[in-house]
A and B are shown apart, each in its own frame.
Chain A
Amino acid sequence: MTDFGFKLSKSSAIELDKVDTSLYERLCQAEPGARICMNCGSCGATCTAGPYSGMSLRKVILGLQRGQDVRSMLSGCMLCGKCSMVCPRGINTRHLILTLCRIYD
């Protein structure tokens, strides 16, 4: 292969017809609040751990909807509950995260 000093980068496009969303469905059954998230990002904006650990509940939910592995982000959560206080949809975010941890375990 010729080395041009640059190469093709993998496309970040997601084919929604092909992704596996079974994990997201299991989460919604255990914590229906996940379904009403509108991805506003208030949780991520208020997260104390976010700037240091990369944790963002918005990204977690979006990642699950896209069939991505979000395990690494969960370990950054300190369960302080600030996100539940600012969520405009009143989602029980702490329960959501704990449920997801249980599903992964």
Chain B
Amino acid sequence: MIYEGKQKIWKDYQKEIPDDHWYYVRSCIRQNFFPASERKFTDITKDILGKDVYETPYHTTCGGIAYHCDAIPQETAMTIVARQFALMTETGYENYVPSCVTSFGNYIEILETWREFPELEARIREQLWKACRREFNKPKYIAHTSDLIYHWRNVIAEKAAHRLIDKETGEPLRMAEHIGCHYAKMFPSKSIGGAEYPYVLAGMIESWGGQVVDYPERRHCCGYGFRQYHMKANRGYCVSNTHKKFESMEPYGIQAILTNCPGCCYFMDRWQYVIAEQTGKTYGKDGFGIPVFTYEELAGLVLGYDPWDLGLQLHQVAVEPFLDRIGVEYDPKAKYLGLNKEDLLKPELPTNLKCF
């Protein structure tokens, strides 16, 4: 009885995700942060899973970054989003999947606002028509790309070349998961697991053989917070939040972090260098940091992609100890060779954070 009750409650925290036919939109900042992640999402979904995922080169930013930085009003962001929906409508798709967590939150927020204020939606439709002679249907379903990888996590696990298991000891890797605030905290009912028990990344880690580690500041923001980072005067606050998280996870021996937000992944990776320069402290073993991965990168590693094709050389924290641990083979000399073996040049190494 109690078990059935629990199952019933847990059902409220789940969402049905359509299995195929997705209209994909990229993030404006991820391409610069971790450029291979989005490419690998399309590779994995189309080539390995055989799904219909369509994208158009004509889409733009969703405007969420400027909206959350207080640079544009929401109505401007709404008109940008209306144009995105118009592009989707023109291609005949109805399921919309953005790659960015803030875009996901932005789209949901705008759809909810239109539901509450239909007159505003009518005004945006009019503005869009005046601006570019386009019309749109609202998507039937919006999911984040991490929802889709979660949805297909067991299929990925069946095709896995590597599992998140320490090949020396046979123990599951101890991993932390970090959910972007705009994924579950704005509209909990639109996420998997809600704001209290977000399961989207934990589900991937468990399916691929790792162990999810809980720690006191697990749900704390990474610190990016848009206004905090983009105004230099507030940047100390931004890094202090990340520092708080790393101090909290330090006693738990975490070997890697999985994130689903562009900002979280970037800042939890890069701030480890800043913290090491300012305090001399590193949080991984032997002077290394804790590697932070996007879910596409982790799925790619599990599926056996070359780590340098996944863009892991663009992480600040060295990923080699993690690759060695799960038994991924790689060529250290090819680390800084880009597409077509073009030399990317070796970056200057930090003083305190150990890197290759």
Contact = CB atoms under 8 A, between A and B. Distances in A.
Interface of A: 1-2, 4-9, 11, 13
Contacts of B278: 1-2, 4, 7-8
Nearest to B280: A1
Given A1-B278, A2-B277, A2-B351, A8 B232 contact: no
B93 to A, nearest CB: 43
Contact of B235 (A1, A6, A11, A13): A6
B277 A8 contact: no
Contacts, number: 33
A100 to B, nearest CB: 33
Interface string B259-286: 0000000000000001101110000000
B240 A1 contact: no
Contacts of A8: 236, 239-240, 243, 275, 278-279
Nearest to B229: A6
A8 to B, nearest CB: 5
Interface in B68-94: none
Tell me if A's interface is mostly helix, strand, loop or mixed.
loop
B240 A9 contact: yes
Contacts of B235: 4-6
B239 A6 contact: yes
A9 B277 contact: no
B39 interface: no
A5 B232 contact: yes
A31 to B, nearest CB: 35
A15 B302 CA distance: 40
The 5 A-B pairs at the shortest CB distance, nearest first, are namely A6-B235, A6-B236, A2-B277, A9-B240, A9-B236
25 contacts: A1-B277, A1-B278, A2-B277, A2-B278, A2-B351, A4-B235, A4-B274, A4-B277, A4-B278, A5-B235, A6-B233, A6-B235, A6-B236, A6-B239, A7-B239, A7-B278, A8-B243, A8-B278, A8-B279, A9-B236, A9-B237, A11-B240, A11-B243, A11-B244, A13-B244
